[in-house]
Amino acid sequence: MGKRSNEPLVWSLFSSGGVIAAFMIPILLFLFGLAFPLGWIEAPGYEQIMTLVRHPLTRLVLFGLCSLPLFHWAHRFRFTLYDGLQIKHLNELITVFCYGGAVVGTLLAGYILWNIP
């Protein structure tokens, strides 16, 4: 048997992170960056937001919203450095840096979301 590749896992994280980054984050940026501050839509109160964030399903969605785009970034940045800048001799270091950063960011997001009172 040959060595199993982790490439399907990496590509699935890349694609799901891209979908989240393309569809969900712009909606949140519009709401919290324009619509609420400019008064186009009435902003929810602090207690309403905290009640929503305390729900386990919301925490799971926020976890995905934080972690999946990090893996999308890691994959895109890795191949930008590897193919675009032709830094092929540092492939292992770049891989560890990119995906390690995504894992650290994911763990940090999980820790923060787990410890919301």
Q: What is the pLDDT of residues 1-15, one digit of tens each?
A: 678 887 888 788 889
Question: What does 38-87 look like in DSSP terms, one character per residue?
Answer: TTSSPPPPHHHHHHHHTSHHHHHHHHHHHHHHHHHHHHHHHHIIIIIS--
Write the DSSP symbol of residue 36: T
Q: What is the pLDDT of residue 88?
A: 78
Residue range 22-36, pLDDT digits in tens: 999 999 999 999 999
Distance between CA atoms of residues 26 and 8, nearest Å: 27
Q: What is the pTM of this model?
A: 0.82
Structure confidence by residue, pLDDT tens digits, 65-112: 999 999 999 989 988 888 888 887 888 898 899 999 999 999 999 999
